[in-house]
Amino acid sequence: MTTTFEALPTGEDLDTAIARGQRAYELDRKHVFHSWSAQAQIKPMTVLAAQGSYLWDGDGNRLLDFSSQLVNTNIGHQHPKVVAAIAEQAAKLCTIAPQHVNDARSEAARLVAERTPGDLNRIFFTNGGADAVEHAVRMARLHTGRYKVLSRYRSYHGGTDTAINLTGDPRRWPNDYASSGVVRFNGPFLYRSTFHSENEQQETQRALEHLDRLIQMEGPDSFAAIILESVPGTAGIMVPPPGYLAGVREICDRYGIVFIADEVMAGFGRTGKWFAIDNFDVVPDLITFAKGVTSGYIPLGGVAINEAIYSTFADRAYPGGLTYSGHPLA
């Protein structure tokens, strides 16, 4: 869906902007290494500007941003209140080391904790979703003293080492050496059921039986965590059938396994509630979030932590951190 305009929303002359875009494209092709791409085989689109639900490509065509970029620009591009808030914070305090208190991080933690379910009231901030997943798994392993982690086929959890190995789609294959302690299982998806189910009730029951049997065969005492996208998104929008996530919660309680809800894509309003898991009345032990929390304007992610896991590190140092954890501008 395209419409050509003579000027951009910034007021910049279109010819000037197109010339700027051509220069950007030349430099990109000379110097930029792109993710998930065969470098010599791509022709990336140039973006000259963005506003609301639209962006302008290198030829000045206005395009409707159907995917919200990487499913993260939840409130649209260049929202004036957010742009003003960024400028206000930049004038106050751009950066400070994470060991120091700053009011921006303290207030952000309060705001997130007000929206998380149950007692997930402690917030560890990261730079994005993949490192949130990395730290959630590390916390679970240290909390339980176990190593294995369960993850679902047809899932996506990020591009860093642990996160890509947790991922259940083919993007992990080039980096999967079967040494990461990940055990995968099939989740419910009635449309292409692996359990030969005829209705949602059967799909829920059979998927939970499959997961329980797998845990029993692998050794219940060996599992630190299970990580699930509350509503899987990247490999298809696979909404869990009624009772499934509650059943996973019960299995985790029975075997002492930490339940990590990956809300990186589905959180912050994407399903109509603050977190997708709120649709199922289930409280996980850890929540990972990113993307929609800032609508992508500044990189930010995090882990929401329940009281039991927080207590593990109350008098024992947590061995992990990031230079930009709780970055005040983010």
Mean pLDDT on 300-327: 98
Whole-angstrom Cα distance, residue 189 to residue 38?
A: 32
Q: What are phi and psi of 13, to 5 degrees?
A: -60, 135
The answer on 206 and 115 residing in a single domain is yes
| Cα–Cα nearest to 115, from 278, 315, 6 | 278
* Range of lowest pLDDT (5-14, 82-91, 139-148, 237-246): 5-14
Does residue 2 have a pLDDT over 60?
Answer: no
Mean pLDDT on 319-329: 97
* Range of lowest pLDDT (3-7, 152-156, 212-216, 292-296): 3-7
Q: Take residue 278 and report the two structure tokens written for it.
A: 């709120």
DSSP 104-146: HHHHHHHHHHTTSSTT--EEEEESSHHHHHHHHHHHHHHHHS-
Mean pLDDT across the chain, nearest whole number? 96
The answer on 182 and 256 residing in a single domain is yes
The answer on 214 and 138 residing in a single domain is yes
**Band of pLDDT at residue 256, cut at 50, 70 and 90:** very high
The answer on 256 and 303 residing in a single domain is yes
The answer on 129 and 259 residing in a single domain is yes
At residue 6, the pLDDT reads 60
At residue 5, the pLDDT reads 56
Output the domain CATH number for residue 305.
3.40.640.10
| Cα–Cα nearest to 234, from 170, 304, 162, 149 | 170
CA distances from 224 to 8, 137, 249, 277 (A): 52, 8, 14, 21
Angle separating helix axes 244-255 and 200-218, nearest 10 degrees:
20
**pTM for this model (two decimals):** 0.96
CA distances from 219 to 27, 85, 284 (A): 53, 50, 22
| Cα–Cα nearest to 244, from 287, 197, 288, 305 | 197
The answer on 146 and 50 residing in a single domain is no
Q: Which amino acid is at 58?
A: G
Domain range for 30: 2-66
Q: Take residue 113 and report the two structure tokens written for it.
A: 């904790």
The pLDDT tens digits of the residues spanning 83-142 come to 999 999 999 999 999 999 999 999 999 999 999 999 999 999 999 999 999 999 999 999
| Count of domains for the chain | 2
The pLDDT tens digits of the residues spanning 29-57 come to 999 999 999 999 999 999 999 999 999 99
The answer on 106 and 31 residing in a single domain is no
Does residue 4 have a pLDDT over 90?
Answer: no
At residue 326, the pLDDT reads 95
The answer on 133 and 40 residing in a single domain is no
The answer on 89 and 12 residing in a single domain is no
